[in-house]
Chains A and B, each alone.
Chain A
Amino acid sequence: EDQVTQSPEALRLQEGESSSLNCSYTVSGLRGLFWYRQDPGKGPEFLFTLYSAGEEKEKERLKATLTKKESFLHITAPKPEDSATYLCAVQAPAGGSYIPTFGRGTSLIVHP
């Protein structure tokens, strides 16, 4: 059973068309929720960390929010260079180990 579910799997937008990506999680005792961007053929690149419900972080056209069950990555007036796969990961205690759980990602394509 997935602990982290991202939706949609794929999203196509026109340049300037705002939208949101969703990351829902079922872990308890959340220590942190992380958003990453991954370009084709490259490693994931860190975007945001959210630690508690109600927290928000912004960077350029991206804004991440967190509730007790899910996180949203809002993309405002996207540009073609925002095209990438966006990954969500959660960190929760699991018997004292440090194993983050990643979602499968949302592939975003922004058309000019």
Chain B
Amino acid sequence: NAGVTQTPKFQVLKTGQSMTLQCAQDMNHEYMSWYRQDPGMGLRLIHYSVGAGITDQGEVPNGYNVSRSTTEDFPLRLLSAAPSQTSVYFCASSYVAGYNEQFFGPGTRLTVL
């Protein structure tokens, strides 16, 4: 099993550009989520999904879109990048929502100039 994979590992964008961060898991987990991690802030939930076709907002959803067309994939789209979105982004998955530990991907380090 590859676990949770994320691409790309690093990305530099200019303000106003859009892009998609990819996330995939091969553990047949129902729950997937996206976090951002900033110095001194801890991990903050952006969006999550409790199953294919179902998504919901987390703490900091503004400026981001998600979709979940398959169990395996959960891409995160930045609509119009802003410097405030400079961060490290982690995708995570777990068997079900709410009770189980999450498995995290290796992260994507995004810089917006």
- Answer yes or no: are A and B bound together in one complex: yes
Contact A98 B97 (CB under 8 A): yes
| B28-58 with Cβ < 8 A to chain A | 31, 40-45, 48, 50, 56, 58
Q: Is B105 positioned at the interface, with any CB of A under 8 Å from its CB?
A: yes
Which segment, of A11-19, A68-76, A101-109, faces chain B? A101-109
Query: Interface size (A, Cβ < 8 Å)?
Result: 23
Contact B50 A46 (CB under 8 A): no
Q: Is B100 positioned at the interface, with any CB of A under 8 Å from its CB?
A: yes
Instruction: Tell me the nearest residue of chain B to A104, going by C-beta.
Output: B42
Chain A residues with CB under 8 Å of B26's CB are none
User: 29 A–B contact pairs at CB < 8 A?
Assistant: A31-B98, A32-B99, A43-B90, A43-B104, A43-B105, A44-B43, A44-B90, A44-B102, A44-B104, A46-B101, A49-B101, A87-B42, A87-B43, A91-B98, A91-B99, A97-B56, A98-B31, A98-B97, A98-B98, A99-B45, A99-B58, A99-B59, A100-B45, A102-B42, A102-B44, A103-B42, A104-B40, A104-B41, A104-B42
Q: What are the 6 A-B residue pairs with the smallest beta carbon separation, nearest first?
A: A43-B104, A98-B97, A46-B101, A102-B43, A104-B42, A98-B98
